[in-house]
Amino acid sequence: HGRIEKGTTTKGRGRPIGGAVCVPSGLAPGGETEATFLWTWHFPNHYDRLGTKIGHMYCRWYKDAIEVAEYVAERLHALERRTREFRNALYESTLPYWLCDAISAQMSTLTKSTWWDRAGNFGVWEGMNCCCGLSTTDVGHYGSWMVLLLFPELEMDQLLRLGKFQARDGWIPHLFPGTFARIDGYWRVDMNEQWVLMAVRDYLWTGDKKFLKRAWPTLKRAIEWGFGKDEDGDGIINIHGSALTYDGWPHEGTSVYVAVLWLSALKAAERVALEMGDEEFASVCREAFEKARRATVEELWDPEWGYFILWHDIRAKKRDEGLMLDGMNGQWYAHLLGLGYILDPEKVRSHLRQAFRYNRVRVRKGMGYMVGDYGYCYVNGYWPKGPGLKVGHQWGSPWTGTEYMFASHLILEGMVEEGLQVARDVYERYKVAGMTWNHIECGGHYYRPMVVITVLLALLGQRYDAPRGLLEFSPRIKDPKIRAPFILPSGWGIFERKVDEERRTIRLEVREGRVEFSRLALGFPPRAVKQVRAFLNGKPLKTSLKVDEEKVTFSFDLLTLERGDVLEVSLRW
C-alpha cells in the first residue's frame, strides 16, 4: 500500500483514464513477473432510511482502507486457499456444472444485498431498486437457507430481531424498511408459520439450545395467533385477499399455501415444545394438526385431477380450482426438518406431478419478472380445467425462488430428473439473458432464489438433527460414484459414495469448521448386510448398526470431526 503522488499518465488513442495503478518491472526476453493488486474500501458513513448513522461492522475492526489492505496482504495466501478450496469442492464435484454455477451465483447475494451494521444488526435486502426492505419474513422463508448454512449466527440474529417486534397479539412482522429501528405494517397470514418454521429449522440444524430458549416465547405466541385466525372452525387459518407472500394474488377461506404451511408449523412447534418441556402445548399442537390435516384434504383435494386446489371458502361456497406450484411448500419444509409427511405421500407426489405437467410453459410476452423470451418457466398458477394459463400477474408468471424450491421438493420425493429439469430451465433462462448473477422478482439480486442451495441438500438427501446427534445422507442420485460438498452450519466437507455389486462405501472429509454427530444414517436399498466397517482417519472405529427398509444407521460415541478428519464406513452384502 502507499500513496500515489503526482506523476505522468499515458492515455492510449486519446481515451480518458479515470485512474490507474502501475507496478514497474523489468523483464528479459521470455521472462515472467507477477504483481498483486489489492482493491479495498472503507465507508464508515453509512446511514439508514431515517438518517441515523449506523456504519458497518467492519468499522469496528479496521480504521481505514489501508488497514483492510494490510489484513488481506498478511493473509492473502490463506484466504485464497480457503476460497479456492470451497469453489473447487463445488465445481469439481460430480454434480452438473450448470447446477454448481446456479448455486455459486446466488451466493453472491450475500455480499451484494446485505447490511451488517456497527451495532451488529444483520439483514438481507429482499430486492434492489424497489420497494423492498430487509429480512423480509416471507422471502427469507426460502432464501435464508443459504444464510443459515454459511453464516448461521447472522441468520439467527436477523430472525430473533424480527421476533422482537412481534405484536402483542402474536403477529410476526413483515420486514425492516431500510432501518432496523422499526418495522413496516404489511399484514399477512403466512408470516407466523414461516417464522416458526425458520426458528425450528435454525435450532435443529445448529443444536443451539440458547437460541431456542430465546425464540420459544415468540414461537409459542405465533402459533397461538394462528389459532385465533380460524374463522370457520375447521382448524385452518383463514385468508381474505392477497394477505400472503403472493401479495397480488387473492385467496379466500382455506388457501392451499397457507393450510399446508400451517400443518408444517404445527408439527414443528410440537417438536420443540417437547424439547422445552411444554408437553401441554405439544399436545395442543398435535390435536390442532390432526384436525387441520383432515380439513385440508376434505376442502382442497380434487381426486379426479389429483391435486390440491388453490382455495375453498366453505362459508361462501366458493372455490378456485387453480393448481399452485408452491402449494406443497409446507411439506417441502417438513422434509428438510425431518418431520416426515404431513399429508398422504401419494397425494403430495400427485400434486407435484401435476404441477410439473401443467405449470411448465414456454416463456411468453406479458409474463412478469421475466428477463427475456427464451426457454421454459414454471408459472405460479395454472388452471387445468380451464382456462389453462392466465398470462401475467403473479399467478401467470414465474418466480425463480419458487421454481428452485419446486425443483428441490421434486428431488426429495424421488422425481430427480424432473427436479433437475426445473432447475436447469431456470438456469438456462437467466444464462441466455446474461443475468446468471441477478435474478429478478420484486427488484434485482433477489433474496428468494438463494433457496437453490436446497437443491444440493435434496440431491444428497442431507438432513441434520443436531439436538439428537443425527446426520443423514440418502442421495437421490443413482450414479454409483458421487462426490459433492456437504454444508452444515458448523462446517463443510466432501461427501463421497461408491457402490459396486458387493459393497457400498461412504466417505466424509471435513474441510472447514467442525461436524458433530453420534448417528450417521444412510439411504440404503433393502439387503442383508454381511459386514460393517468404520474408520476414522484410517483407524478402526467401534460402531453398531440398525437396518430398516430405507436406511441403515451407524451409532457411535459422539464424534467431533474437524478439518482434515476423514470418516469412512462401508457395508458389504
Q: What is the mean pLDDT of residues 169-173?
A: 98
pLDDT at site 69: 96
Residue 180 scores a pLDDT above 50: yes
- State the cell numbers at 538: 484410517
Nearest alpha carbon to residue 453 among 414, 421, 485, 491: 485
High-pLDDT (> 90) share of the chain, %: 90
Q: What is the mean pLDDT of residues 511-518?
A: 98
Residue 161 scores a pLDDT above 80: yes
Q: Which residues does 176 contact at the CB level (< 8 Å), separation at least 6?
A: 123, 133, 134, 135, 161, 162, 182, 183, 184
- 207, 466 contact by CB (below 8 A): yes
pLDDT band (50, 70, 90) for residue 14: low
Q: At what angle do helices 191-206 and 137-150 cross, to 10 degrees?
A: 10
pLDDT band (50, 70, 90) for residue 1: very low
Q: What is the mean pLDDT of residues 189-206?
A: 99
pLDDT at site 22: 81
What is the total residue count of the chain?
573
- State the cell numbers at 377: 418457466
Q: Which residues does 415 contact at the CB level (< 8 Å), separation at least 6?
A: 349, 352, 353, 356
pLDDT at site 528: 73
pLDDT in tens, 106-131: 999 999 999 999 999 999 999 998 87
Please name the amino acid found at residue 196.
V
Radius of gyration of the chain from its Cα atoms, rounded to whole angstroms: 25
Nearest alpha carbon to residue 147 among 123, 165, 175: 123
> What span, in angstroms and rounded, lies between the C-alpha atoms of 333 and 567?
29
pLDDT at site 526: 65
Query: Lowest mean pLDDT: which of 319-323, 390-394, 490-494?
Result: 390-394
Please name the amino acid found at residue 14.
G
Query: Lowest mean pLDDT: which of 26-40, 318-332, 504-518?
Result: 26-40
How many C-alpha atoms does 445 have within 13 Å on its Cβ side? 13
How many other CB atoms are found less than 10 A from the CB of residue 146?
24
- 108, 458 contact by CB (below 8 A): no
- State the cell numbers at 396: 401467470
Average pLDDT of every residue of the chain: 95
pLDDT in tens, 370-420: 888 899 999 999 999 999 999 999 999 999 999 999 999 999 999 999 999
Residue 498 scores a pLDDT above 70: yes
**Strand ranges inside 269-352, DSSP E:** 301-302, 307-313, 318-324
Q: What is the mean pLDDT of residues 264-291?
A: 99
Residue 573 scores a pLDDT above 70: yes
Q: Can you list the domains of the chain with their CATH numbers?
A: 121-460 (1.50.10.10), 462-572 (2.60.40.1180)
Please name the amino acid found at residue 318.
K
DSSP 3-state assignment of 543?
coil
pTM of the model: 0.96
pLDDT in tens, 409-453: 999 999 999 999 999 999 999 999 999 999 999 999 999 999 999
Residue 549 scores a pLDDT above 90: no
